[in-house]
Structures are given as structure tokens and as C-alpha cells.
Structure 1
Amino acid sequence: MRCYWDEEDIWFYLEVDAEGWVTRQIELEGPELTPIAAASLAEWQQAQEAGRLDEYERGFGMTAELPVSEWEGHDPVPLTSEEFEEVWDSARRQITARPR
């Protein structure tokens, strides 16, 4: 799904599991849709276990801490898995290409 947060001019693209927990999250900011996050819950958990959480979050951000069923004030638009993957691949390429 995707939803827009107009206060910050950010599009959120979300992959969620059956219980509504976000498994992957993309954040695109501004009219240029600049990727500011492309985080995977599985990668975040691996980074936490390896003691590299700060590094992971600086590079890729993090996923939402609440299931989407508990969110207020969003109007989600369904996406196909192909649509999500296209945005995911583009955001990850752009984020990993940035100098660190």
C-alpha cells in the first residue's frame, strides 16, 4: 500500500504482513520523490543482533513500530507487489549510491 503524509510531504510505500506489521517501508520526500528511507524489518533485526543498528538506520531508516491497523489519519491506496518492488528497487539503488 501507499499513503501520503501531507504535513511532511512524504509518500509512504508499505509492505505489510497478515497481521498488519510493516515488513518493508519506503519513504519518498518532496516533489522530486527523493528516497529518505527504504528499510526492511528483517534487515533491521539482523543489524540489531549484529550491533550495527545505528549504521543501518542512518543508511536505510526503519520500519513503523505499530501495525497499520493502529494508525490514524492515513488513507492507504493498495499496490500490486510489482508496483511496490519497482519503487523498492529504485529507492534502494538511490540510497546505496549516496556517499556515506
Structure 2
Amino acid sequence: MSDKAERRAARAVVAEYHEAELRALVAQVGEAIDRHRAGELDAFDVDRVLFQYSRAAKELWKFCNLGRVEIAAAIIRERPPSDWWEHGAPRERP
């Protein structure tokens, strides 16, 4: 396989992974909005979810777009990072 074909295959792996993980993050937001509409969460709770989503999506984006795509694809194939939602969790102050 040529370098160009390998890079194209790696981009496809990363793009598929990015979309699937982003879909899971968006589902968290959708659930929070549904719970807000049902009266289970207040606006501040939803805001915290949106903040966490933003941080998690940025971390996911950085993983998928910084550095060589072949390296990201190899990591995804071998041991994909887990739980981007937790990567976006605010740090607790001591």
C-alpha cells in the first residue's frame, strides 16, 4: 500500500471514530435538554452539561486532528481512548 493510500485509510479510521465519539457526546447534551424540559434539571444543570460537552469535544478534536493521522489511527485500532465525556469533566477544586 502506498503512503498516500495508507494516509487516506488512516484519515477514514480517524473520521469514523471522531464522528462516533462526537455522536455520543451530543447524546449527553440531548439527554440533559430532555431532562430539563421534563423538569428534572434546572438551567444551571444544563449549563454544566454544555460546559462539559464543550471541553470533551475540544479534547476529542485535539486527539483526532493534531499530529500525524497515521499515529491517531494506530491508537484507535489498538487501544482507543475511552470516555471523552470524563475528559471534559471540570476539575474539582481541593
Alignment TM class, shorter chain as reference: 0.3 to 0.5
Higher-strand-fraction structure: 1
Higher-helix-fraction structure: 2
